[in-house]
Amino acid sequence: MTQTLVISALKGGTGKSTTTANLGRALRRRGYRVGLLDVDATAPTLHKALGLDIPPWEKKTAHETIIPTVVEDGLYLVTLAGLFSEKPAVLWKEPELVETMHALVTDLIEWPEIDYLLIDSPPNSSGYMQMLFEFLGKSLTGVVLVFQPTDIAAADLLRSFDFMVAKELTLIGLIANQAYCVAPNGEWFWPYLSPQVDLQSFCAEVKVNYLGAIPLTPNQEYINERFDGIAEKIRTVKPTVFRPGKIDMAFRKIKRKGLTGMIKKVGIEYAKRQSNSS
Ligand SMILES: Nc1ncnc2c1ncn2[C@@H]1O[C@H](COP(=O)(O)OP(=O)(O)O)[C@@H](O)[C@H]1O
Ligand SMILES: [Mg+2]
């Protein structure tokens, strides 16, 4: 049976599309057949993360179904970007989007045999995204959250948890992306103005899986290595099911108190060192 994962964050630019592409390739390296689906109506960039131009939606003349683009043997892609040659992204109407989501997860796409379906999602909790989760229903294996470990991103991370609780979703785990930066001399450093939040401690506190950290780097080989580990974890970890009444007390406490206890001083210290030396 196909395992369906939604790659999500209620924040733009955290690395959802990059993660979908890299996780897809990592699962493929492990021998799994993978379908990739980009449903980000505002910024569908998954094809770019895969190094492709916008692939056209290939429609069968008889049933008007979509045949996915073959990225490589065993790795397939369908993206909403395929529609944008016909109309500007901003002119989607909500009912139209809901209808498209329904078609995408039911009978519009003729996927070849796939072991994993990875869905790249927009950073919003709008009606069509809520409906996407409704349509997926029990066929959804779980959500993979991708966040930068900054205090600014953490506010949206808590909102993502709220969304998951409200929709009673299952969480596979959290990836800390752009978690640190590797300088050309090999030194690791903190690349943000905002303070660092320890997402590993956060995950331990709220009892969800921490899947690992990915650095901010242009080194694809290094990224591949990290995703090999993450792909293995995704296959084997026990997901967390969010159910009303079973919401972890720790999450409520963190929501009440904020994340102050998990803010590391690394970022600030690094910035200080820099300003002292200049
Ligand atoms: N680990 C990383 N290292 C280097 N660049 C990254 C990394 N993760 C994301 N990026 C870059 O950050 C930008 C935003 O990433 P993207 O995957 O498009 O985010 P999202 O889909 O969440 O909006 C892109 O330019 C992408 O190439
Ligand atoms: Mg994206």
Q: 5 - beta bridge partners?
A: 118, 142
- pLDDT for 278: 45
Q: Assess whether pLDDT exceeds 80 at residue 123.
A: yes
φ, ψ of residue 101 to 5 degrees: the values are -60, -40
Largest CA distance in the chain: 69
Contact (CB, 8 A) for 7 and 146: yes
- pLDDT for 33: 98
- pLDDT for 117: 98
Q: Assess whether pLDDT exceeds 70 at residue 271.
A: no
Residue nearest to atom 16 of ligand 1 (CA): 15
Indicate the angle between helix axes 199-206 and 151-166, nearest 10 degrees. Answer: 30
Rounded Cα gap, residues 240 and 207, in angstroms: 8
Residues with CB under 6 A from ligand 1: 9, 12-18, 45, 49, 177-178, 214, 216-217
Pairing state between β 263-264 and 188-189: unpaired
List, for residues 75-102, the tens digit of each pLDDT value.
Answer: 999 998 887 665 566 678 899 899 999 9
User: What are 230's two structure tokens?
Assistant: 């993450």
Considering the chain, what is the average pLDDT of its residues?
87
Q: Assess whether pLDDT exceeds 80 at residue 249.
A: no
List, for residues 155-203, the tens digit of each pLDDT value.
Answer: 899 899 989 988 999 999 999 999 998 777 777 888 888 888 999 988 9
Q: Which of 47-61, 175-189, 254-268 has the highest mean pLDDT?
A: 175-189
Report, in angstroms and rounded to the nearest whole number, the Rg of the chain calculated over CA atoms.
19
Pairing state between β 34-38 and 116-120: parallel
From 68-72, 123-127, 252-256, the region with the lowest mean pLDDT: 252-256
Atom of ligand 1 nearest to the CA of 215: 1
- pLDDT for 260: 67
Atom of ligand 1 nearest to the CA of 11: 22
- pLDDT for 185: 78
Whole-Å CA distances, 167 to 1, 74, 146, 160, 271: 23, 32, 18, 11, 40
With CA atoms as reference, report the closest residue to 161 among 150, 147, 149, 151: 147
Atom of ligand 1 nearest to the CA of 9: 22
With CA atoms as reference, report the closest residue to 145 among 121, 111, 179: 121
Rounded Cα gap, residues 141 and 117, in angstroms: 10
User: What are 136's two structure tokens?
Assistant: 């997926």
- Specify the higher pLDDT residue, 160 or 205: 160
- The pLDDT-based confidence of 121 (bands split at 50, 70, 90) is very high
Contact (CB, 8 A) for 227 and 25: yes
List, for residues 8-30, the tens digit of each pLDDT value.
Answer: 999 999 999 999 999 999 999 99
- The pLDDT-based confidence of 59 (bands split at 50, 70, 90) is low
Residue nearest to atom 17 of ligand 1 (CA): 15
Contact (CB, 8 A) for 201 and 176: no
